[in-house]
Structure formats: structure tokens, C-alpha cells
Amino acid sequence: MTDISDTDISAQVLGWFREAWDPDLTLVEWRNRLVDSGWAAPSWSSDWFGRDLPAWADRVAHATIRDAGGVAVPLGAGYGLAAPTMYDHASNELKRKYLRRTLTGELAWCQLFSEPGAGSDLAGLTTTAVRDGDEWIVNGQKVWNTSADHADMGILVARTDWGAVKHAGLSYFVLDMHQDGVTARPIEQMNFRNSFNEVFLTDARIPHENMVGAEGAGWKVARGTLAHERSFATQRTVRFARGASGRVIDEARAEAAEYLKTYEWYPQRMGRVDLVTERAAAMGLTDDRVLRQEMVDLFSLQRASEWTAGRAKAGRALGRPPGSEGSIGKLALSEVARRAHRVHTRIAGARGLLKESDDPVDAVIAEVLVSTPAQSIAGGTDEIQHNIIGENVLGLPKEPAVDRGQPFRDVGKNTGRGSTT
Ligand SMILES: Cc1cc2nc3c(=O)[nH]c(=O)nc-3n(C[C@H](O)[C@H](O)[C@H](O)COP(=O)(O)OP(=O)(O)OC[C@H]3O[C@@H](n4cnc5c(N)ncnc54)[C@H](O)[C@@H]3O)c2cc1C
């Protein structure tokens, strides 16, 4: 079905939706109907809730359903990361166990990848899973895990073979978070939010059937998740058509409001460039020549970065593989956030320290100033993007590595405590 257009898909979805929509259903009942129709994940195969359509069909189907006054799939790491990874790599048994309930939003997921000593160098992780009959027993610590304190399930990468070389000793699991061996502790951030957690795994148990992909293939599977993460990262808004109402809509609104609490500060993390002109005017600074120059630099960079993102999006819509725009765009967003931070500091002066203020905008600016550093860390730091551009785009020699070609147990490790073992 390669010649199908987005208008054809919209028309088909709309035809189905008009027959199927019942606002008095519960959200889960409605989403089960959606999953059964094949329009929850139309790019998936017809054996697994899909319609064998191209990747862009998912976006078109979901937008059509929302515009018509309905509800599509849930936001979050479940639909965005866990489901596509399982769809690509899991056994049929595992897909049967989890895919439907992930698409309906019954299961909330978190990503258990980073560790105190393994962030940029993710493949250096040391959380260990040891086989015990039909189960794996997991011990270690994860960190920076968004929403882990209220997740039902986690996607987890753990080391299953210390005798193998670094990347070959990892396996990928889905972990039930509701068990004694799993403790998620929220971390208080410097912007007073608690989006992240540290997760302690102490003899946590995972049935062998919950391994995704083959034993030792965890790195390949994790790279698949990270590729999905790059496209999913921008989906942090939920739209409801004007006038949409009914039980399904009420439950979906409540679900979205709960989910989005975690991300309330994310616009601040990007620098709130939209507030710059208004704040400069409010403070009587629009004639300040130095400030004007910095504002123009900021607006120009932001506009150029939007064009780069637009080019990347257009390429993907045409089915082109992700190119260097991804890393360049990510770097540009970090720079926009940094410059916005500087401009807001210049405008706000000491008022930028006012977290509690009579003026709610001051509080937003205060949050901008302590949130922008996250922009150049999340999803791969600036330095890592430089490395990717250097090696993959400019063809520079690879970084020297001292941890390849020998069993991981013999390699010096970052313990996350400022020393190596
Ligand atoms: C908003 C946000 C959300 C997140 N959500 C999650 C989540 O849900 N699940 C999860 O598992 N993780 C999550 N993370 C963690 C994130 O993936 C890591 O913070 C990131 O990969 C960086 O790792 P690190 O913090 O360990 O820093 P490190 O890797 O220790 O880096 C420290 C510094 O060293 C530099 N550096 C490291 N290696 C190199 C190199 N080879 N060359 C040059 N410089 C280098 C880095 O650029 C950085 O400046 C989140 C982080 C943020 C900020």
C-alpha cells in the first residue's frame, strides 16, 4: 500500500471514527476499540494491531481522530519508547503480554538506562542481571529516571555477561516496578521540581520471558529505543478539539493533566524566548543598545534553528533516514537556551532571583535561569553531539577508546564517585 496519501488515510480514519466513537465509554474501553481497529498504530503489521501502512500514517491517523473530537494513543514513554522497541525486538509472547495495555494507557512506563557512572557512556553501565532458573535477579542503581516513581513498568538495560566486551555483555528487559526489590526515590532539582528519580534495584526479579531481543543484544535494542526517543521527545502536548466532551474526553483530560505535570518546567528549560521582548519593554530597556544586539542574536539563532528542525522534519516525512540535522538541531537548542538565559538575566537583574514574587512572570524567569542547563544534557550532552558531528559528519578520527577488545570486568570503570576502579 505504498501509493496511499495522507488524505486517503484521513478519509478512512474519519469513516471508521464516525461509526465507532462513543463518548460514554471509559477511556480504556475506547482505546481498546481504537487498538482493535488498527488505527492506534497503523504503521505496525496487521498481526500486531496495525495496518501495514508507512510510518507517517500514525501521525495522520492520530491527528484526524483528535480533530474529529476523539482521543488517540496516550503520551509518555509507553507509547513513545517501550511499545515501538517491543514491537521491533520482543518475542510474540512478550508483545501479547504488554503491547495492548501499553497502547491503551493502562500501563505507565519509565526508562531505566542512565546510572551514576554511565550517562554519556551508557554502554559502561554496571547494573547486573544474573540468571536464576526462569528468572533474572537484578542489582544496581539507575538515576535521572523520569516518572519512575509512578511507573508500572520500566525498560531496563543491565549487564548479563562481565566476561564479554563492553557492548556485547548487555541485555534488555522489561521490569515490573511494583515489587519489593525496586525503590524509586524522587530527586529534588534546583528548580524545586521532582521530575526524576534514582532507582535502586536490590534482588529485583524479572521472568526470563521479559528479555527483549537475545541475551547480549541489549546494546542494539537500546539504540533502537534511543532512536525512537529522538522523535518522541517533542511530543509533550495534548490537543482536544473545541467542544469535545463526554466520559472518554474527561478521563483523557485527567490522564494528560497528570502526565504533563512532570513536564511543566520544560518550556522554561528551553529559555522562554517568547517572553524576551515583553520583559524588555516592561523593564523599560528596549533602547538599551547592548541588550538589543543580544536580543537580535538570540532571535536570529532561534529562527535558524527552527529552519533546521523544519528541514529535518521534511526529510523524515519524505522517508529519508535521520541525518546530521538531529545533532546540529540539538546543539542549536542548547545555544538558544544559553543565550536566552543570558538575555533574561540582563533584563531581570536581581528580580531573576525572585522565585516567590507578586509578579508571576518573575517566578517564571527565575525558573528559566535554573532550568536551562538541563537543555544541554538531556538526550545527549553538547559534547557528545560535537563528537557525533565530528565523527559521523566531518569524518574525523574516532575518539581514542581504552575499553574495547577486552572483557568488561578488566576495564577501568567510572564509578560515578569521581574515581575509577
Ligand atoms: C531533563 C532530563 C531528563 C532525563 N531523563 C532520563 C530518563 O528518563 N531515563 C534515563 O535513563 N536517563 C535520563 N536522563 C539522563 C541523561 O540521559 C544523562 O544525564 C545524559 O546522558 C548525560 O549523562 P550524565 O548526566 O551521566 O553526564 P556524564 O556522561 O557524566 O557527563 C559529564 C560531563 O562530561 C562530558 N563528557 C562525557 N563524555 C564525554 C566525551 N566522550 N567527550 C567529551 N565530553 C564528554 C559531558 O558532556 C558532560 O559535560 C535525563 C536527563 C535530563 C537532563
List, chain by chain if needed, residues with CB within 6 Å of any ligand 1 atom.
111, 113-114, 119-120, 144-146, 374, 377-378, 380-381, 383-384, 387, 399
Residue range 281-337, pLDDT digits in tens: 999 999 999 999 999 999 999 999 999 888 877 877 676 766 777 788 889 999 999
Question: Could you tell me the distance, in angstroms and rounded to a whole number, from the CA of residue 145 to the centre of ligand 1?
Answer: 12
Measured between alpha carbons, how far is 289 from 283 in angstroms, rounded to an integer? Answer: 14
Question: Could you tell me the distance, in angstroms and rounded to a whole number, from the CA of residue 377 to the centre of ligand 1?
Answer: 5
Measured between alpha carbons, how far is 329 from 344 in angstroms, rounded to an integer? Answer: 22
The answer to whether 266 touches 333, Cβ cutoff 8 Å, is: no
Q: Is the model's pLDDT at 11 over the cut of 90?
A: yes
- Please provide the size of the chain in residues: 421
Locate the ligand 1 atom nearest the alpha carbon of residue 269 and give its number.
1
Locate the ligand 1 atom nearest the alpha carbon of residue 383 and give its number.
47
Query: Which pLDDT score is estimated for 419?
Result: 43
Q: Is the model's pLDDT at 233 over the cut of 60?
A: no
Measured between alpha carbons, how far is 184 from 285 in angstroms, rounded to an integer? Answer: 46
Query: Which pLDDT score is estimated for 20?
Result: 98
Going by CA atoms, what residue is nearest to atom 52 of ligand 1? 378
The answer to whether 245 touches 168, Cβ cutoff 8 Å, is: no
Question: Could you tell me the distance, in angstroms and rounded to a whole number, from the CA of residue 117 to the centre of ligand 1?
Answer: 10
* CA distances for 35 relative to 41, 99, 239, 290, 370, angstroms: 7, 10, 20, 56, 41
The torsion defined by the Cα of 235, 335, 114 and 230, in degrees rounded to 10, comes to 30
Measured between alpha carbons, how far is 275 from 340 in angstroms, rounded to an integer? Answer: 10
C-alpha atoms less than 13 angstroms from C-alpha of 287 in its C-beta half-sphere: 1
Q: What's the rounded mean pLDDT across residues 147-154? A: 96
Locate the ligand 1 atom nearest the alpha carbon of residue 146 and give its number.
8
Residue range 204-224, pLDDT digits in tens: 999 999 999 999 999 999 999
Least confident of 51-60, 181-190, 309-318, 332-341: 309-318
Measured between alpha carbons, how far is 259 from 154 in angstroms, rounded to an integer? Answer: 16
Q: What's the rounded mean pLDDT across residues 237-258? A: 90
